[in-house]
Amino acid sequence: MTVDPRLSINQATIKYADLAAALRVTAEAGVQAIGLWREPVAEVGLATAASMLTDSGLRFTTHCRGGFFTMPEGPARRASIDDNRVAIEEAATLAAAGAPGSTAILVLVAGGLPEGSRDLVGARERVRDAIGELVPDAAAAGVTLAIEPLHPMYVSDRAVVSTLGQALDIAADFDASVVGATVDTFHVFWDPDVLPQIARAGREGRIATYQVCDWRTPLPADVLLSRHYPGDGVIDFASLTEAVEATGYSGDIEVEIFNQDIWDTDPLTVVERTAAAFGTSVSMHLRRP
């Protein structure tokens, strides 16, 4: 089976593989691109990670992740902004180290309500403010900040940005080359407005990255781990993928799955199965060159 050339493995899908193993099994399975997470990069150090990435021959698609800046002004907020600046530099370095076609994208998860707060509106304003602070750094580094709306079940503890429309409203204050959105099927499929918002994201030049995985019920006890291989759930990849493609998006497409059973599986097997699932559920909805 030929692996789709636009498939990228997000490292979270094989969470227990260290960077060396993640790069190795991704390449070994015939996948051409990978999205990395900060922690396994930090384990080996950025310079070593960049060198390992170059050696792998893989394209680099996204760096996961920045954000978590809903707190009010104070030391914790300053620490978060500073840490996001480091993440921006990492994304730039890794994109430069990846194979041609790599993209310098930092995925941003907004963060939830600060402890003891009920003020979603205020938290959302602080997300916009934080992005405003980071834009000059991102622009200077050539990095696109990709605001990721998360499913509304995560609104209070993980991401106060819940819809693609909301992400685009925040992004609208900034240049499209610097601030875009992450379109992840798991997070947006339920939205009755998703197709018009994908079209809008395309018109506004904001689709930084497209990610696919599936939704199935019952949800597991830890709802963070409720993501599945494409095709194993109820998401209609046809309409969503065709809507993304119709905007002219031609970038890599990541599969990012948080799932304990998948994490407990041998990583090469997971990457191979991901490639197969992508082939049967997503590839046919992509424009052919």
Residues that bind a second copy (CB under 8 A): 113, 117-121, 124, 151-153, 155-157, 162-163, 165-166, 169, 189-193, 215-219, 221-223, 233-236, 239
Cβ-based nearer residue to a second copy, 28 or 193: 193
- For the record, the structure tokens of 198 come out as 């994908």
* Lookup result for tokens 């995925």: 107
β-strands 214-215, 227-228 pairing: antiparallel
Contact 110, 145 (CB under 8 A): no
The nearest distance, CB 225 to a second copy, in angstroms, is 12
The nearest distance, CB 213 to a second copy, in angstroms, is 14
Cβ-based nearer residue to a second copy, 43 or 157: 157
Q: What is the identity of the amino acid at 1?
A: M
- For the record, the structure tokens of 129 come out as 């403010």
The nearest distance, CB 252 to a second copy, in angstroms, is 24
Alpha helices (H) in 183-224, listed in sequence order: 185-188, 194-203
Q: What is the identity of the amino acid at 142?
A: G
Cα 191 from chain centroid (whole Å)? 18
Cβ-based nearer residue to a second copy, 67 or 251: 67
- Residue 263 and residue 198: Cα distance in Å, rounded? 30
The nearest distance, CB 257 to a second copy, in angstroms, is 17
Cβ-based nearer residue to a second copy, 2 or 217: 217
The nearest distance, CB 37 to a second copy, in angstroms, is 22
Cα 188 from chain centroid (whole Å)? 13
The nearest distance, CB 222 to a second copy, in angstroms, is 8
Cβ-based nearer residue to a second copy, 52 or 179: 179
Contact 193, 237 (CB under 8 A): no
Cβ-based nearer residue to a second copy, 40 or 165: 165
The nearest distance, CB 271 to a second copy, in angstroms, is 25
Cα 57 from chain centroid (whole Å)? 21
Cβ-based nearer residue to a second copy, 190 or 263: 190
Q: End-to-end alpha-carbon separation of the chain, Å?
A: 19
β-strands 253-255, 7-10 pairing: parallel
